[in-house]
Structures are given as C-alpha cells and as structure tokens.
Structure 1
Amino acid sequence: MDVPALDIQLKTLPNAPGVYQYFDANDTILYVGKAKNLKKRVSSYFTKTHDSGKTRVLVKKIVRIKHIVVDTETDALLLENNLIKKHMPRYNVMLKDDKTYPWICIKKERFPRVFSTRRVFKDGSEYFGPYTSMKTVSTLLDLINGLYHLRTCKYHLSQDKIESGKYKVCLEYHLGNCKGACEGLETEEEYHGNIKAIKEILKGNFKDSLSQFKKQMKQFAEDMQFEEAQKIKEKIEVLENYQAKSTIVNPKISNVDVFSIVSDESYGYVNFLQLSYGSIIRSHTLEVKKKLDETDLQLLELAIIEIRQRFNSNSKEIYVPFEVDLGKKIKVTVPKLGDKKHILDLSIRNAKYYRMERFKQDKIVDPDRHANRIMAQMKADLRLSEEPRHIECFDNSNIQGTNPVAACVVFKNGKPSKRDYRHFNIKTVVGPDDFASMEEVVYRRYKRLVEEEQPLPQLIIIDGGKGQLSSALKSLDALNLRGKIAIIGIAKRLEELFYPDDPIPLYLDKKSETLKIIQQLRNEAHRFGIEHHRNRRSKNALNTELETIPGIGEKTVVELLKRFKSAKRVANAKLDELEDVVGLSRAEKVYNYYNKK
C-alpha cells in the first residue's frame, strides 16, 4: 500500500471531532486518541517539542495516520475507548482490570428465583450489578432471604403443572423458608409483590419495604397475632440496621455516579462510587498505567467511559473533582460543599487508600518498580531536573556546645546505603557555630569526592532552615558546584522545604512518599550524628582525668588504657605495674598524681 508523506496526511485532516490512529512502518497500530479538532490535535504532535521521551519516540515511528470523524465529542470518547480495548496499542494507557464481576439475577420465571451469577444471558431476566465484591452480593442475598420467603428449587412452575399436582413441597417449606408456590399455597400476585420490593432494595430504596412491613406489623398486632407481629418487627430491625450502615449521605441523592482520581508519575487511580437513595451500592477503583504523560483530565474522561460501560451505569448525573466533557446527556457536577462534597471526598480517600495499598504491594513484590515510582514522584514533587537516585543529608550535633560533630547519610534509590555514611569531627570552628560547621563539612565532603572523582549526588538535603542552607551554598560556590547538584534545606518545626534564592518555602502533603523519604533521611542523619557525638563524649569523659596529669600525653593514655582497660584501674595500679607499661619516669608521674590525691 502506497502511503502518502506525513505532511500530506496532516494537511488533509478535517477540522472536526473524531478519533485518530497512528501506525508504524509495519502497519501496527501504535496509538489511539480523540480530538475536538482532528487537524489541530494531530498536527500538534509534529510541530511542538515534547518533554516526554516516550512521546518523541512515538512521533518518530509514525508512518500512517488514520482518522474517523464522528458527530460529537462524546461519540469520540466512546469510540476511543472501544478501539483501545480492541487493539490495545502500545502507547495507550492500560486499564488494568479484567475480572468477571458478580451480579444478582432475578430470573424471568412465573415465580422468579433470586441468586448470584457471574454470567449474564439475554433471556429477559433482570440483572443488578455488577458488584465489585462477592461479600456485598452475599450480604444482600442474606438480607433478602431473611425478609422474604422465595423459592430456591428449579421446577418449571407453570399453572397447569401446579394444578395437576405434579410437585410436592420440600424441606424448605417445612423450615419456613418457602411458602409452597409449587403446590399453589402462594399466589403469583403475592410472590411478585415481594419481587417488586426486592428490586427496590437492590436499587437502594428501603422506604417502600419498611412502610409495607410496618403496616403488616400493625395489622397483626390489631388481630392479636403477636408472634407474627414480632417476626415482622425483627425484619424491620434488620432492614433499618442495614439501611443505617449503607446510607452515608442524604437519601435524596439518588442515581448518581461519583468519580475521583489521584495519580503519580506512572499511574492514575480512578475511584468510582455509585449512589442510590443516599447509599453506596457500588465501589470500584481502576488503575490506569500512563504511557505519554497523560493529564488527570485525560485519564479521568477515559476511565469514566470505561467504568460506566463495564458496570452498565445509566446515571444521568456524575460528581467529579473538576470539569470533564462527556456530552450534553450527562449532567456534570463539581461539588464545593455539603453532602455532595462529602461523598466526593470519600471517593478521593478511597482512591488514595488504593494507591497506598498498591505502593505497599510493589515494595514487596516488585522493588524496582517501587523505587522507580518513588524517584519519579520525588523528581516531580521537589521540582528537580533529574531523579534523585543518590541523596545525601547533613546534620550537625554539638549538644551543650561540646565535641561538635556532623553526620552525612546517603540514600540510593530511596534506601539507606550505610556503607557510604560518614562522620565529621569539626576542625576549623571554635564553639557551637552550626552555620560555620555546616560550611566546613559540606566543603570537606565534596572537595574529597571531586578530588577522588567519585560520583556526586543528585540531591543534597540540609537539616536546617535558610541559614544552614546558605552556609552549605557557600561551600558549593567555593567548589564551583553551584547548579550542578540540587540542594534544599528542611526546617524541623513545620517541615518547610527551602530552596536557594527562594524566600517562600515549599510545603509537601504530610502523607506524601516524598516527604516520608526526606523525613527518614533527616531522622537517620540525626541518629547517626548523635551516636557519634555520644561516643566522643564518652571517650573524652573517660580520658579527661588521665590527660590532665602533668607530663602525660595522649599516647601514654592510650597505652595505659589498653593494658588496664579503665581509668579507675590505672588509679589503683601499683608503681611497678605502671612501670612495665610506660617506663619509670612516666609511671611515677601517674602514681604520684593519684596517691597524692
């Protein structure tokens, strides 16, 4: 097939809504997309510079462009969804979910059975669902079976066969679980009245059933049938208890779909809640893998169409966190307050919980994917030019102004690299000066890395605010590393992140993975520094008195401690024992010092 040059294909595209498909040299479909204006959208791929490497690779592979013009943008959205599912192009987002969901079936029969199934047949039966959890289905069926006595047998209960006496009541009848329709002991009208009530319950409407049961209870009580009245009362309590658990907002909110999205650099998570009479009758979260840095708007629109098709939803109104374009037939509401905002917030919370669970699973099952996601997220959250695969964090320790030390901890791919940790004893600073100490250790650290041609980190974190950050920057300037390594400071009280030359701090979400990594780095640097500081103080406390003896130096102290293990044993040693270690002259100085004392 002769394929015209790309520029000719682009010039002949229409200014109309539709769906476009990209093919490579082997005529393999690469990507499917929708557009309000096909010509403008498709041309933009070839005229602007793309930030994403994947998009640049895609554009290089495109040889042929196919398009389908449709009447409306809604039609384009539906067609795009169907083509993606049919062809599964390499560069399209992946809707990761292929489970078969359970339904509740009300069988098309003279006396309908109600049961769960995963297979839907076009036989005139009514199907409610699909439900995302079998537990939900079991709970509903238990509720229905407790309220209404329905048959479970598979007999063909035609009027002729019942009247001819073909069937006999079974054990279920004697147990009180069935009213014996097979022997004509229950009328078709009465049975269908129960089925009608069951349909309302499955839709989330409990009002009619409660009203009917209350009338029956009152009638039984008036007729002095108190045992029957008590049974009805128990059913009312069961139904009210279920209603209380399932109703979470105003019962007037009915036949509404709620959608929300949270995303990271690699995936989007779209939560779906379906409401009926204030009750959540369905909840589901769809994971969408990004391929070309799609926006939340693009992902949400695609996921809404997919989910509504999958769950056979015909709701006329949806709640979403921001405006989406789904055509004129669907009312789109962006709640700002009240019950509607409450339910949207609940949906967002569900999406976040799902993302957290996936994050934990990745950490166990696929550590590389977990690390890649954290790195990509940190790059975006901290506005870095590259992923911070190698991070170093500095902290000073000079408790009570003594023995000033500093610590440098190293994380690689989001995990501690303890063999790369370093301690620093402050050499050039007199007294407790945190700013000068930070300047010294940062200079010493990176001067050595540069001289030894060791790899530099992508990110430096300074435990402190603007002052500490400024001191560290002086050292980077002196080493000509300013701008070559990203550097930020973290203030302890409010977890503020400070950037060079930016007076306004950055505040991250308190639950974000990026902030958790930074806090872990800061806490590890603090622990490592305190440990070294404690060891120095212990050593100094041990050595102080021996070093104060006139004429006794550090080497003599070390020799004595190697032999006697403690300053106390040195003090109690005999002269000849000391002489054996350090000679007579120094032994007499030590012996006389302690014995005079």
Structure 2
Amino acid sequence: MFLDDFTFDLESFLKNVSTHPGVYRMYDKQGNIIYVGKAKNLNKRINSYFSKGAKDLKTQSLVAQIHYIDITVTPSEYEAYLLESSLIKKHKPKYNILFKDDKSYPYLALSHHDFPRLYGFRGKPDKKATYFGPYVSLASMRETLVLLQKIFPVRQCEDSYYKARTRPCLQYQIKRCSAPCVNKISKETYAEQVDLLKRFIQGKLSSVLEEVSNKMHQAAEQHDFEKAAMLRDQLTILTKIQQQQIIDQVSLRSFHVIGIASIMQKACVSLLEISQGKVEYDRHWFIDIDMLQEKEDVISAFLLHYYLSDQSRNLWPEQVILPEGSKVSSSLLSAIEKKAGAKLQWLIKTTGINAKWQKLAMVNAKQKLQSNLQSLSQYAAKFTALQTWLNIEEIRRIECFDISHHQGEATVASCVVYEKQGPVKSAYRRYNIEGVTAGDDYTAISQALHRRLSSGVQADNLPDVIVIDGGKGQLHKAEQALLQFDLQNTIQLVSLGKGVERISGKEVIYRGFDSTGYHLPAYDLAFLLLRQIRDSAHDFAITGQRKKVAKRQTESILEQIPGIGAKRRKALLTHFGGWQGLTSASASEIAKVSGISAKMADMIWHALH
C-alpha cells in the first residue's frame, strides 16, 4: 500500500516544483546524496541547473549524475539556510565539499578595529578579522550580510572611505550604519552592537532578544529616548525573525510530524523527523485510496505500516504530531507504545511552535502530491476531460489571461500557455497595460486580448481555448474581442468567476456566448486543469506587476541622486543590462561605467542598498 519511492519524472518535476523557499537534495543512481542546496524560490533555483546557459565543469558534472531530486519546503529562507547547513554537515555530499577548497569559501568578516567593519570575504582567513562561516555559496553570504545590515548599524565601508568622511553617508540616513566615522555613536555603544551581532550570527537569538529588550527599557528609564527608539526598532525586526523561525528552535526533544494531503484517489503522507529542533529526515509515501476512505483511515494505516512493521527500531520519538483533526483508536496508539517500550505523547490540537511544525508537514505533503499528480499522463487526462466537457474534438493549446495591478497602477496582463505536455513557459507573455483607468480590469483584459489575437492571426498560432480569470464582465469583453476578429467559432472561451462563497474549488464557470453559470465537482479533472492554469496566470501576473513596481521605485531612487541624469541612467542600464544587474553590482563595478566616478559609484551603491 505504501511506497517508499516512485518513478521520477524529471521534466514534470521541473515544471511543477514549488516556488516556496526550501532545501533540495540531489541523488545519484545508487541513492547517495551528491548535492544539497537551499533556495528562496525552489522552482527557479532547481530549474537553473537544467537551463541552456553556459555552466562550469562542476555543474555539468553534477547534472550528469542526477537521478532523483527531493525537496523540503520551509517557512522562510532563513530556515532553508539552517537546514541546508545541517544536511551538508550530516551527509557531506561530494559536490558540496570536493569542488571547493578553503580559499574559495565565502565568509562574513568582522575587522579588529576600534569600530569594527562587517564585510563579505572570500579567500584564506587571516588574523586581521574574526570570520564567520564558511557559507555554502556567495549568494548565501550576501543575503546574510544584507539581513545583518538591516538589523545592526555596523559600518561596512572600507578604511579609505571611512577615514575620509566629514559627514554621515547615505547608510546612516537609511539607518544601516551608526556613523562612527563622524562620532555619532560612542565606542561603548558600538561595541554593544557588535557583540549582539556576533551572538546573532552564532544563532543565539533568544539571548540577543532578551538583551535588546533590557537595554531598551534601561534607555527609556534614563530618558535616552533616541536610543530607546533605535532599540525598539531593532527589537521589532528580531522578534519578527523569531516568530518566523521553526527549524533552529533550541530544543532537546525528539519528535515526528506527520502531514497528509489527498486529491481524488491519491494521497501523500509526509513524515518529518525532528531532533534538537532540526529536521533530520524528510520522507513521504504515495498511496492509492478509495473515495469513501476517511483521512483517519489513511493515518491509521500509515501508523500501522511505519511504527508496527517488522523493521527493528532503536530510536523512538518522544512526541508524534498528527495531522489536525486526526482520529486514531487508542488501541492502535497503545500497541505502538508497547513496541516502543515507553509512553509517547500524541499531539493533534496544537498551538505555537507545534502548530507551525504541523502546518509545515502538511505543506510538504501537499507539494509532493501536486508534483506527483502533475505528471505528463495527468495533463493528457485533464485535457481529455476538458475536451469532453466543452464538447470539442481536440484541445492542443490553452491560454489563460489575468490582470494584476498595484493600487490601481502598474497594471500588467499575464498570458500563460498549456499544452498536453504541461505548461509551455517559453510561450508565457506579459502585457504592460497603458491608458486605462486605474483598476479597470475590463478594459485591461480587452486590451490584452486584442494585442494577443492580432499577433496570433498574423502568425497563425491561435489557441483552441482561452481562459479568463473573472466573471461575466471580463468574459463579455473577451467575447467582443473574438467577434472583432471573427474567431467566435474558432476559439472556445471559458471564465472562472469567484462565486458567492469566494472559495477555491467552488468557482462558477462561464462559457463564451452562454450566460449559464456551471459548477463542476472540486476534483473533476477538467475543473482541476482550469484552476491550475488560472492560478499559474495569477502568479505570473503578480510577479510581473511586482517587477514593474520595483523598477519604478529603482528609477525614482536614481533620479534622487545628485548628478545622475537621464544620460548617466541610460549608461548604467546599458552597461549592466538592466535594473537587476545594476542592483547586484558592487561599487567598484559601478565605477567602471563611463561617466561614473568612484565617489558617485559609492553614492549609487548605497542608494540601491
């Protein structure tokens, strides 16, 4: 009934892997972990290994040996980093350690000055600084550095820049430096911040929180309200980080967390084994279930399979966190405890940290099940189901449109494309919508469809079905567009309205030139396909809209820097190939742009960070 592995479909996995932060493990044919990595976006990071771009020999060799990839979703990137570090130390994958020597690892360094400088370092550590690391990648080190700069106002500038200052730089103004260069902070207070920073890097968050809180109250009692306000802001950020944390919680207990997700006649059970607050193992099983089976039946069957099998077990958990709402017979739990030779604590109704673990196991089960269901054969079955429901002979290509905007501005329309093999991401498109009233989704969808149909008629690459995210209003605009191009008998229109309850799985489906609102069962294959495509379009639209807003904000930042006019802005963008390249460049790299002095480059770098 329960299977520990399954045939791995790499192509399907790459298309459907989660966009959450998390850790990925790559295995060879023998089942050995050959690489462990972490990602802010698992989908983008894992897919980058298999893109067509030039790769170094190490990556080429790694990719050639990959036989299977597994992931663990984490609540935030911070937990992903901690879990990655733990797994590398435990498994020592060869591609994490053999292709780097001590000179190539990135570190965080804290200089030994009276007012120490925090900076990234790559090379062989010496006695001129205290080093923290090594970090697995340069990106990990840089991300940690940016986080630390936001929390602790310790200087990052080089000595030559530091000694030449006569007034605070932009870093002081944005509260990322306490300006020791112009005596804005005492040596003692600065040393306190450095000590907090050291302890934070070492993972002693609880003690840092306690000390910052105490110092804040002391400052307030002494009527040093400026210092109290600074510590209050620092405490707010640190508290937020603590609330997001799960994996590095200081704990001596050992426990298991079980999550379950089911769709139609397929279910996935996910098991996290936790030791001292860290994930030691992440396992999952796919099972076929009858529609009449209840969730507790699946959980009971799993407990029987995993804990009461003939396999000998030397280590038992102190606690087992079961899925929310589970109902398991006391006799089964007693039998497990008898085999364990100890009383186990079974948790179902959870709060606090246990509730976060419970949710994480559920997220992992859901992600693994979705990846399994979204295989090539599943897409073919879904397409067939939609063909039957729409009563058309064949569907080769489906396109879905969605509109996203930020407070009525930066409106973007997305178009995602699906074929029987799954999403065709190379054909995804975004349309910048201009000249419409803020928040007017009707006119925006009309503009996007006119542009798509116009180019499609010329190139003869029209879809068989167009899906609209919206109700009758959006559908009516789409109908007008089809009529204008005389395509009403060529393309089938479908829209997904939110319905009265506005609950996913209970959307109202409308068909083009048909005012009837249709409802399909939540797990109908045709309905699942429509919802999946709609969700992809929504995510793609939001991503595009956020990039557009970020670009405008970056443009605004550059325009505020004295001496940076249109000509220099153009030179910067041309040199780095866009905003992303510019924001990731160092001050010395920016200084290489024609017309940009070293001083101006430093101003630009500080403004963008």
Q: Which interval holds the TM-score relative to the shorter structure?
A: 0.3 to 0.5
Structure exhibiting the larger radius of gyration computed from Cα positions: 1
Larger RCO, structure (CA 8 Å, separation 6 or more) = 2
The normalised TM-score by structure 2 is 0.33
The normalised TM-score by structure 1 is 0.33
